[in-house]
Amino acid sequence: MSKKLYVGNIGPGAKAESLKVLFSMFGVVEKAYIVTDRQTGKSKGFGFVEMANDAEAAAAIAALNGKDCGGFTVKVNEAKG
């Protein structure tokens, strides 16, 4: 069963593909996307990554939460809801 992760404080220039590449170092990424404003199309500064299983998701959280990514300290945890 896949595990959905919340990724917060993403830099404004980040792309979904770069999230996928970053998280794929820890396992299979089924889906990665950044939430954008409907009117402007600009990033809202957060996104989601769906990992293939719990162990890979836990490894990604442990490695990336609170780390600097492109000058921004990202927050990574299990998505709620």
pLDDT tens digits for range 42-68: 999 999 999 999 999 999 999 999 999
Confidence at residue 70, expressed as pLDDT on a 0 to 100 scale: 85
Determine the pLDDT at residue 29: 98
Predicted local distance difference test score (pLDDT) of residue 75:
98
- The domain containing residue 46 runs over which residues? 3-67
Q: What are the distances in angstroms from CA 20 to CA 38, 75, 76?
A: 22, 16, 14
Q: Could you tell me if residue 80 is inside a domain?
A: no
Can you name the residues that pair with 32 across neighbouring β-strands? Answer: 49
Residue 24 has pLDDT above 90, yes or no: yes
Structural domain includes residue 29: yes
Residue 21 falls inside a structural domain? yes
Q: Give the type of residue at 66.
A: G
In our burial notation (b when 16+ CB lie closer than 10 A, e otherwise), range 9-28 reads: ebeeebebebbeebbeebbe
List b or e across 36-46, with b for residues whose CB sees 16 or more CB atoms inside 10 angstroms: eeeeeeebeee
- The fraction of the chain above a pLDDT of 90, given in percent, is 89
